[in-house]
Amino acid sequence: MTETSNYTVELFGKPLAAMTAMVREVNIAKGWRSADGSTTNSFGDYIALLHSELSEALEAYRDYRLADATAAYDRELERPAKPEGVGSEFADVLIRLLDTCDIYGIDLAAEFERKIAYNWTRAFQHGGRTLSEGVSA
């Protein structure tokens, strides 16, 4: 018998679609995307931007570990301060991933569900290529 998840795309597909709509809306409003969906960036540009957010997460970890380093308020600009820290950078990764999938018409919820279903069919620590020194489970 194959193990499976109890979750289905119906559970997270709608929230993901809503989050994608939020990303699309702010990126169009702030000039990062055209309203007609066209882009001057290449696919490679979007991949590089995803990498850059992961690198920012590493730098945030080096500076603050997992602490939220966001200041309470930006008094100079009189607005909420820019979020800083690993959590904020991971949010940037998700924002860029949702944006990239939206631009290229990739149904991330469906791809996620398909990959999770496949992962359930794989052997425990398939391939044996772990990073840790000991068995974790």
Q: Which is nearer to Mg ion, 9 or 95 (CB)?
A: 95
Q: Could you say which of 56, 83, 95, 103 contacts Mg ion (CB under 5 A)?
A: 56
DSSP type of residue 63:
H
Q: Closest distance between Mg ion and the C-beta of residue 99, in Å?
A: 13
Stretch that binds Mg ion, among 38-46, 49-57, 63-71, 73-81 (CB under 5 A): 49-57
Measured distance CA(119)–CA(111) in Å, rounded: 12
| Residue nearest to Mg ion according to CB distances in the complex | 92
Greatest C-alpha distance within the chain: 61
Nearer to Mg ion, 89 or 102 (CB): 89
Cβ proximity to Mg ion: between 12 and 64 the closer is 64
Minimum CB distance to Mg ion, residue 51 (Å): 11
**8 A C-beta contact, residue 33 and residue 99:** yes
Q: How far, CA to CA in Å, does 94 sit from each of 54, 120, 130? A: 10, 23, 25
Which is nearer to Mg ion, 53 or 102 (by Cβ)?
53
Name 19's Cβ contacts closer than 8 Å, sequence gap at least 6: 94, 98
State in angstroms the smallest separation of the CB of 96 from Mg ion: 9
Q: Whose CA is closest to 104, among 26, 28, 20?
A: 20
Kindly list the residues in this chain that would bind Mg ion in the complex (CB under 5 A).
Answer: 53, 56, 89, 92
